[in-house]
Structure 1
Amino acid sequence: MKLGSARAAGAIFGLLASACSPLKMFDAVMPKDGGGRLAIRDAAFGPDPRQRIDIYVPTAASARPRPIIVFFYGGSWNSGTKNGYSFVGRALASRGFAVAIPDYRLVPQIRYPAFLEDNAAAVRWVRRHSNEFGGDADRIVLAGHSAGAYNAAMLALDPRWLGEDRKAVRGLIGLAGPYDFLPFDGPVVQHTFGAVSDPVSTQPITYVGAGDPPAFLATGDKDETVRPANSDSLARKLRAVGTQVVRRRYPEVGHAGLVTAVAKPLRGRASVLDDAIAFADDVTR
């Protein structure tokens, strides 16, 4: 079986498609885009070994600083590693963006809201060090898949996390994100959020307000892990306050398939990469 073929990629994906399983094996065998490269590996944005970040940049030169996408991976807040997402970093970088992919502390080492504190620290590190990799500190798009989309949405919508740095956020890209999931009715959310005295405060939808950054919200019609209704609910509330929203639904695509469609051999399954880049280009002009 030739690993570079779409059929082989689909077979490998089938072995890994249990929700948001770590994608290190998938990433290892995927052909990568040639227009992006890893520029910085394992930079520390905090003292914990999980507080490390990778930066991908386009191989082509640019006359001006490039807009930045900070991508948070999923994994139910209890698993995942940036080392499984170089296919995302290189794909986005090949389209002209500087790309930051941080690790962050996970359950059970921590609970909510410590992973958001880590994500915010990563964004602040990106802004402070943007000149080291040719990024524009004032043109940032926050992106994520699944639990990572939750993280991105909370940073984009809730001013507690980024403070003044939130002004640099030009857009939100959420792939299959949970944004409106009360009550806490499963073990994952119970373990992550169950000790919070005010559950409403954990929901991204709670913080929607005038002046929020534009949002690209995507789901697969076959998602049985995070209900697409989460994205519908957030889109409605954002539009109600006048925020620009692009809502995309991809037929025959499941939960993990929404992010693996970014990989070169699987892009025929859904136009996630093209659609997200079109949005990011628009909001960072």
Structure 2
Amino acid sequence: MVMGWCLVAFVLTAYAQQAAVPTTYRLVQNVNYRPDSTDDYIRERCVLDVYYPEQTKDFPTVVWFHGGGITGGEKFIPQELKEKGIAVVAVNYRLSPKVKNPAYIDDAAAAIAWVFQHIGEYGGTADKIFATGHSAGGYLAAMVGLDKSWLRQYGVDADKLAGIIDFSGHAITHMTIRAEQGIKETQPIVDEYAPLFHVRGDAPPLVLVSGDRELELLGRYEESAYFYRMMKIAGHQHVYLYELDGFDHGAMAAPGFHILLHHVNELTKKSVK
């Protein structure tokens, strides 16, 4: 009987030690998601980083597009998303004025398509991919997720996205696209390059996060609120709107990551710390 208890104690101790082994994470940098191109600027800008948990399978993946008005910015892995049991794919894309619309939207679609095609090589799964980003990045995520034509050209159905999480992105046509046409930033336009133009009830779950309406850029909160309302009217059952009181356009991203992780958890039914 004593030996039996010793055996049980040994097994439990071994299990506890195994369970206590921390998850390790790996970062693979500057993977070209347009590898067949010979264009120097594409080869420079169309790269992504993959941050993922090793020895783990079927984890969710967040595709993160940086902000910068489509005229600047660099890919990065948000600190708030590290060591959370998920993969983060940080994407660079071509910038205006070196390229014009719709080159950067097409880059966003190509990057997401690359993730669908390759995340399984890192242990992830194609049914837990989220398109996300801040400001210009949120706009790109929403455009590619709502207008199915962008991913369709790469053989991917946008509705296979697990969700779209948009941090303070334009719902109207982006101001840089308007600037390329000589339209001032205070003149709102809703055309085929506006996520609002593509509202539909059968889109993936959509999470809209905005800073304080009095501190945000231009009418960014109001755009998000109208986007939310029109998605509801279109019959969308899983659209969410958050306003982060006291946070301006730049500062809202940090608390926004908690909202992102919550929805990744809920939409994949996976425990995310």
TM range (shorter): 0.7 to 0.9
Of 241, 250, 253, the residue aligned with 2:247 is 253
Of 110, 116, 126, the residue aligned with 1:121 is 110
Segment of structure 1 superposing worse, 37-46 or 98-107: 37-46
The superposition leaves residues 14-40 of structure 1 with CA deviations (integer Å, 9 ceiling, x where unpaired) of: xxxxxxxxxxxxxxxxxxxx9774421
Q: Partner amino acid for 1:275?
A: I
Does the CA-based 8 Å contact 1:157-1:204 persist in structure 2? Answer: yes
Shift of 1:194: 5.0
Of 170, 176, 179, the residue aligned with 1:178 is 170
- Report the TM-score, using the length of structure 1 for normalisation: 0.74
- Report the TM-score, using the length of structure 2 for normalisation: 0.77
Of 118, 136, 141, the residue aligned with 1:147 is 136
Partner of 1:101: 90
Shift of 1:189: 4.1
Shift of 1:110: 0.9
Does the CA-based 8 Å contact 1:173-1:216 persist in structure 2? Answer: yes
Cα 1:278–1:74, aligned 2, differ >3 Å: closer, same or farther? same
Ranges of 4+ aligned residues in structure 1 off by more than 6 Å: none
1:190 aligns with 2:178: yes
Aligned length: 230
Does the CA-based 8 Å contact 1:72-1:149 persist in structure 2? Answer: yes
Give the match's secondary structure for 1:110: coil
Partner of 1:236: 229
Cα 1:36–1:280, aligned 2, differ >3 Å: closer, same or farther? farther
Give the gaps of 5 or more residues in structure 1: 1-33, 262-269
State the distance in 2 between where 1:143 and 1:245 align.
Answer: 14
Q: CA RMSD in A?
A: 2.2
Give the match's secondary structure for 1:253: coil
1:278 aligns with 2:271: no
Does the CA-based 8 Å contact 2:172-2:190 persist in structure 1? Answer: no
Give the gaps of 5 or more residues in structure 2: 1-21, 184-188
Shift of 1:250: 0.8
State the distance in 1 between where 2:210 and 2:159 align.
Answer: 27
**Larger RCO of the pair (alpha carbons < 8 Å, separation 6+):** 1
**Structure with larger Rg:** 2
